[in-house]
A and B are shown apart, each in its own frame.
Chain A
């Protein structure tokens, strides 16, 4: 072996601890980035595959009646790949003493599903009359399983006992516990058994692959509508969900991308750590390099040796980090898949993703080392031979006289602070590591606090805590008479509501609603102009007021459907197939709601509507606990039922809050995991920095021991340096966390609510970060402090 390579081998042996720390830091950050990349690649592939395997309909056309022959005819139309008929009924299911929403899909032929398919998990091949299939996440929400008997009440029926004939997996729906709704599948016979008459009213259509984007689909749907209308059918609405995308795919992608950003940040910081390690290693070798150059080694020969070291570090980091990333990704993928209710057919990571990680792992350390290596091998021989091997003195020839006062008052801290500043680049790197990891940790808690504040707006902007939907509009006077005297109801308002769509003249309205009826919905509300039940923040214009005519207020989600709209613009809305004209007077922010438009109750359009009718009750009660609220709902329903007024949905506001809270849990824990990775990288980096400093200051510690410092004093000095850096790192983390929190809040908020989350500070996060930082410092400084304490006094007497 060439002496140069032998030298490299002995250098590695000499500095093995520092190099090991650097390798670990690189491997850890590579694992973190790898985990995020692997998860992203696998989940995007699998969620897309899961969703596509359900054969999602390109569009669902709401028609007065869909016969089997109509389905047959439609399936032969140009551009149409498959057609099926369905019907969705919003029923209710008993959950203890309360009723829970149950969305029931009436399926034409269970044996030959063509669109929006689901796979049977257990039970019968198709549900007999009087039974239902349930989507499997019903078990998570209500603990239901095959064989259980439910009490189901459809809008026009009586409570009926229904057995669960089997569980199915429908990858096209969000999980029940997130939507707080049970999804069921029934035959036409069961529909009749439950008291619902009528046939199918949805024509679900899958178009050929050339109709892949929404514009093309909408254009084709207009042709279908024309064809249907030509056959005397009334078309109410066309629903086109985002093509090929699961309802929760967008939020998941946005969040995962931000996590990839964090992983990349950790890797970048580790690379800078690599550069500093190489710099420190080379600082010890300046004289040796000068000697080698003096006896004939070229810069290129020397540079190759040290680049080989950097490459070796990268190889080891890759060998550890990439498999670790894969191992970390697997449970994470399973957790997300369970959360979003899809099945992982494969967790294999595309080889391109793995190759990318290997390439980054090898390239970054080498790139980080190039400049320090070149700087070291390019030093003139004369300069190198004269090198003393000591770190550079503190900057500046003179300090202010007042600085001595610090030495009197706080001698150990003064010494620690001055030592920290000697290597500015290293100091800056350590601060960056500490600050960034602390910032991410605080941001995770800030995000949780911001989310909770956002959810809290559900309460602060709404003064009702119970909402009841009626089967059909009822006279307001009758409602108020029935509910008068209820002791727990402090205020009752009668509203009206109806699905709505923006109207394009000459066209059937198109909305982006998913089959679950929730995602993408757009609702028109008729409200008392002086309502006390809602107080949404205004983005522009004003709320409704007495005397308003043909005025409408849109919430932000509705405004997103027609972004060009401004206050003062005219807008046309389709309600029950009729176009109605309005003027936009205000735009509001409404957390926790899909698209909504608000008009004066007196002008609410729609059949059976009118200023003196209502199909939606908002009730403020003095019930404080979930149990008392549930009891309030039951009593109101009982009172109304006695008067023949059927309630189809009764929800406490808390359910909305629960649903929103479900979505954030995985996000927060993933962010905390990312913060943990960054923290570990910071700990390794800090330990490496401190170790380098201790080794470089062997003689200095000997001097301290010679003038009377005990091993404990020296050890404490190293810890004090670490704490000084930690304190500054913490101070740096706070403003950094503001930026990260704002960024994350924007990503998450816009994805979830179409509103950025507010900037919120978590005192728990700050305390945890401070405590975590202290622990990290103690852990990182432990070994270097012990090493420093073991430096002998004799080192002070030694020549260089």
Chain B
């Protein structure tokens, strides 16, 4: 298994304002506001957020705790619905999806990577990857196991296929979670603090995996409070108090200075 480590310190990347595009954006948030019921005016997590993202690339949504990034992630993945505004992902009006429609949309369109891995403890690594395929049912049954094994190999844990999550390290679990997120080959990958529970070495490896997916054409959205993610991101959107306060696109190639051992 390749382990990816820093060979030398990586210089801060250079970012600039994102250019406007005439193409239909892959992700589009228009005047999205999310208000939670509460005292007085309620708790406003997002305030009239406008955001467009092209297909492909790795977008980092950064901000401190309470900035609204988790809420943004929930709205993006149809876990929650905006109070006002619209959200389109790959042409689907995500803001209109109910519980069942949201689940159906997620199984085909989104792969989610959680901070705490969230593997099902009674399933092996291989079976955790098989699960989304079983739910969606598009991949023929006789092809699923091979695909699952290929995904595990891709993330570097093919030899852990038959182990239960409790016996895997944090890094191995997160790799497995990434493989699971890729099971149905979704165009969108969303990672919620994917390195929050990992040591720095392992975190680098996981970031590289996410970077590889972006390079392969997927749209990867990483929600994090860690600014280090900027090193591998193509675009960094900063939230504060429910608003987009900064939105920068990288000018240099990511992963510069990172070598494989």
Which A residues are within 8 Å of any B CB, using their own CB?
Answer: 390, 393-394, 396-401, 403-405, 407-409, 411-412, 414-415, 418-419, 421-422, 699-700, 702-713, 792-794, 796-797, 799
Contacts and interface: CB of A to CB of B under 8 A. Distances in A.
Nearest to B130: A407
Contacts of B180: 707
Contacts of A703: 114, 118-120
Contact of A797 (B70, B99, B108, B144): B70
A394 B121 contact: yes
Given A394-B122, A705-B103, A407 B127 contact: yes
Interface in B127-152: 127, 130-132, 134-136, 141, 144-145, 148
Contacts of B122: 393-394, 415, 418-419, 421-422
Contacts, number: 132
B46 to A, nearest CB: 15
B106 interface: yes
Contacts of B121: 390, 393-394, 422, 700
Contact of A408 (B119, B134, B184): B134
A705 B104 CA distance: 9
Contact of B106 (A397, A404, A418, A707): A707
B215 to A, nearest CB: 24
B74 A797 contact: yes
Contact of A708 (B106, B116, B124, B130): B106
Contacts of B80: 794
A405 B164 contact: no
7 contacts: A403-B124, A403-B162, A404-B130, A407-B131, A706-B106, A708-B104, A797-B115
Contact of B132 (A397, A412, A707): A707
Given A393-B166, A708-B103, A797-B192, A404 B127 contact: yes
A720 to B, nearest CB: 13
A799 B193 CA distance: 12
Q: B interface, how many residues as a size bin?
A: 35 or more
B126 interface: yes
B141 A409 contact: yes
A417 to B, nearest CB: 9
B100 interface: yes
A355 to B, nearest CB: 47
Nearest to A418: B122
Given A390-B121, A403-B124, A415-B120, A397 B74 contact: no
B4 interface: no
B84 interface: no
B124 A711 contact: no
B112 A707 contact: yes
B249 interface: no
A704 B120 CA distance: 8
A704 B99 CA distance: 13
B175 interface: no
Given A407-B131, A419-B122, A713 B103 contact: yes
Given A397-B166, A706-B112, A708-B132, A418 B103 contact: no
Contacts of B174: none
Interface in B58-109: 70, 73-74, 77, 79-80, 99-100, 102-104, 106-108
A711 B126 contact: no
Contacts of B130: 404, 407-408, 411
Given A408-B144, A706-B112, A797-B74, A399 B164 contact: yes
Given A398-B167, A796-B118, 20 more contacts: A396-B164, A398-B124, A398-B164, A404-B162, A407-B126, A408-B130, A408-B144, A415-B120, A415-B122, A419-B122, A703-B120, A708-B108, A708-B135, A710-B100, A710-B104, A793-B74, A793-B77, A793-B79, A796-B114, A797-B192
B154 interface: no
